Amino acid sequence: MSASRALEALTRVAYLGPAGTFSEQAALGYFGSSIDKVPCVSIDEVFRATSAGAADFGVVPVENSTEGVVARSLDLLLNTPLNIVGETSLLVRHNLLRKEPSATGVKAVVAHAQALAQCHTWLSEHLPQAERRPVSSNAEGARLAAEDASLAAIASTRAASEFGLHVVAPAIQDDAHNRTRFAIVAHPHTHPTPQPTGHDCTSLVVSVTNRPGAVHDMLVPLKAHGVSMTRFESRPARSGQWEYFFYIDIEGHPDQPEVGAALKQLREVCAFFKVLGTYPIDVH
C-alpha cells in the first residue's frame, strides 16, 4: 500500500518527447528521476496538458545561446494561463546519429529546426548534399533514422542509446558552449509564485501605445528604482498595425520594495501588462 501511495504521489511532468529529447533531460535534471513522465508531441501540447491538469508541471525551451528565443514558447506564455515557476539550462551537445557506423550515403538529416540551425556550419562542410529535414523533435528524428538507413539524426547520446544508433560524429554544434534555457511552467491555482530566495528573476510581457518615446517611458521605472533588466525581446502583436509585445526579464522578486514599486509604475505606462512568473535563477 505504501508503494502504491508513492506511485500516486509522483509529480507529473510534461515535456517535448519522445524519449531521448533534451527537454526530457532538462525535466529529469530539474525534478529528478522519480517523476511521472508525460511526453508530448509539440510545445503546444506541453502547454495544453499542463493547463488542463494532465500534468503538474511543463518543461519548455525558451532560449538558446546560439539561435535566440524559441518563439512558440513565448507566444504560448502570452496566451495561456500558465506561469513560470522555475528555470533550468543545459549544455547542449548535438551528435550525428545513424543506423550505419559512418556518414557515407546520408540523403537527409532529420532534427528539430533549432538543432539544424545550431549545426549549420558542420552540416555545410561535411554533408553539403544532404537534405535538412525539420521534424517535431530531435528524438523523433532519431526514431526515424532508426527506421531508415538513408537518414541521419541530430540528437543526444541518450537518444542514440534509446533507438540503437551509432554516434557517427560527436559534438557537431557550431558553438562549443551552446546552451538551452528551459522554463518550468505550472498553473497558478495549484502552484503559486515561489517565495523570495534573494536570487530571483521576474519575467513579464508588456506593450505600449505606438507613440514617440513610448519604449523609453516604459524603461524609466526600472532605472528609477534601480532594477536591472537582464533580457528584452520583441514579438509582433499580429494586429496588422506594426505593434509589438515586449518580453522582459528583471532581477528580483515583486515582494522586494524596489521591484514592487518599479512594476507598479511600469503597469501604469503600459497598454498591456502581464507577469509571466517569478522564480529562482538557475545558477548553472
Rounded Cα–Cα distance for residues 162 and 98 (Å): 12
Which residue, 103, 118, 225, is CA-closest to 165?
103
- Given 21, 50, 88, 180, the catalytic residue: 180
180 included as an active-site residue: yes
Q: Which of 57, 182, 245, 246 is catalytic?
A: 182
Active-site residue, 272 included: no
Instruction: Tell me the pairing of strands 108-111 and 95-98.
Output: unpaired
Name the residue with cell 498553473: 187
The 10 Å CB-count burial string (b at 16+, else e) for 180-196 is bbbbbbbbeeebebeee
Annotated catalytic residues are 180, 182
